Amino acid sequence: MNISTQAVQIGLEWDTRTGAVSVPIYQTATFRHPGLGQSTGYDYSRSGNPTRQSLEDGMARLDNGARAFAYSSGMAAIANLLLLFRSGDHLVVTEDLYGGTCRLFDKVFNQFGLTFSYVDTSDVEAVRAALTPRTRAVFAESLTNPLLKFADIPALSTLCRDRDLLLIVDNTFLTPYLLRPLDLGADIAVYSASKYLAGHNDTIAGLVVVKDAELAERVYYHQNAAGTVLGPQDSWLVMRGIKTLGVRLDRQQENAAKIAGWLKNHPAIAKVYYPGLEDHPGHALVKRDSRGFGAMIAFEVATHALVEQVLLKTRLISFAESLGGVESLITFPEVQTHADIPLELRARLGINNTLLRLSVGIEDGSDLIEDLNQALEA
């Protein structure tokens, strides 16, 4: 079955008693027991809620995993995964990582004895060189935020398997609709479900999909113990969003390809990062492993003065945090999403004071180009 069809069908099998097409929102903290020592399968909503489970079951199918887990945010999902490790363990992670993930690693979990090495995870040999006897996992973004480098997941999975390491892939930018990390050898896929999966800029959520049932039991133990679960209302919103994932991403990618090509030829644009462009370093690899190139674009304007001009002059494209929703959004990574990355690392990576990140929405592509064009005019 095509994944777009699977996405539309999420939750349809759930309510066999009434046949409800939309999964009910079980807004309850606790569940009545039918008798002493008996359970309906649900006892307390931190441990399991029918609405959340419907989302988790559907997401496991979409990503071809053993189990999935829904969290109160993408950061909560990553934090919960770090509970798999112990003081003294080492992880190799993507260097141009989302700033919030970097903050979580270096400012929170570092104080508990976890250590992290930042490397270009699109370079397998760089990852290999960073491994130590204490390394327990590689954490890579499939398509990095914001520079859109692409990880060779099959090669990384071979490296990790040979060393008995976990491979965790943040697949937020591509989603299972375009890329299934577990099919390519990853052990765990993690998502900020606030982005493309929910798709409407109206909820905060995180999702984790685990390939192996035994590892999934460990992840569930930590989810339940720490209580970082997604509530039933937000679980329902994410499911509603997933139903239109295919049609949304098809339109967003179509728009992104047009805009990237237009930006590349604009005199006020110094550089464009988009994997759908043939001169992008990861273009061939993305084409090999993914069903599409995504709908995120990063670009450098010719001068720093143009940054504020573009951010304040766009009319359709909102100057706002986040990405992946139906509305187009633009941000300035250096002072917004990636401010927690050390200055010297930002400079080396190219996250500079002329770089803008554009999340392309489902508006008419020509209208978005017109909006950018008027914002770039002096």
Query: Which pLDDT tens digit goes with each residue over 227-258?
Result: 999 999 999 999 999 999 999 999 999 999 99
User: Annotated catalytic, 98?
Assistant: yes
Alpha-carbon distance of 209 to 197, in angstroms, equals: 13
Residues forming beta bridges with residue 188, ordered by sequence position: 168, 210
> CB of 24 within 8 A of CB of 30?
no
Helices then strands, each counted (H, E), the chain: 14, 12
- Mean pLDDT, all residues of the chain: 95
Residue of 63, 152, 170, 371 with catalytic role:
170
Over range 197-206, report the average pLDDT: 98
- Asked if residue 343 has pLDDT above 70, the reply is no
- Asked if residue 341 has pLDDT above 70, the reply is no
What domains can be seen in the chain, in order of their start residue? Answer: 3-242 (3.40.640.10), 245-376 (3.90.1150.10)
Residues forming beta bridges with residue 176, ordered by sequence position: none
Residue of 61, 195, 211, 251 with catalytic role:
195
pLDDT score, position 336: 67
Query: Which pLDDT tens digit goes with each residue over 298-338?
Result: 999 999 999 999 999 999 999 999 999 999 999 998 776 66
pLDDT score, position 337: 63
pTM: 0.95
Over range 192-208, report the average pLDDT: 98
Alpha-carbon distance of 142 to 152, in angstroms, equals: 8
End-to-end CA distance of the chain: 51
> CB of 23 within 8 A of CB of 11?
yes
Nearest to 91 by CA among 148, 197, 173, 163: 163
Query: Which pLDDT tens digit goes with each residue over 273-309?
Result: 999 999 999 999 999 999 999 999 999 999 999 999 9
Query: Which pLDDT tens digit goes with each residue over 141-188?
Result: 999 988 999 999 999 999 999 999 999 999 999 999 999 999 999 999
Chain center to CA of 353: 24
> CB of 361 within 8 A of CB of 329?
yes
Residue of 46, 128, 291, 313 with catalytic role:
46
Q: Calculate ∠ Cα 196-275-142, nearest 5°.
A: 55
CA quadruple 357, 109, 130, 213: dihedral sign: negative
Query: Which pLDDT tens digit goes with each residue over 77-106?
Result: 999 999 999 999 999 999 988 989 999 999
> CB of 157 within 8 A of CB of 167?
yes
Phi/psi for 29 (5° steps) reads -90, -30
pLDDT score, position 338: 64
> CB of 100 within 8 A of CB of 337?
yes
- Say if residue 311 is exposed, middle or buried (CB neighbours under 10 Å; 0-12, 13-18, 19+): middle
Share of the chain above pLDDT 70, in %: 97
Helix (H, G, I), strand (E, B) or coil at 189: strand
Residue 50 — pLDDT band, cuts 50, 70, 90? very high
Query: Which pLDDT tens digit goes with each residue over 104-117?
Result: 999 999 999 999 99
pLDDT score, position 360: 98
- Asked if residue 344 has pLDDT above 80, the reply is no
Residue of 26, 71, 98, 196 with catalytic role:
98
User: Annotated catalytic, 195?
Assistant: yes
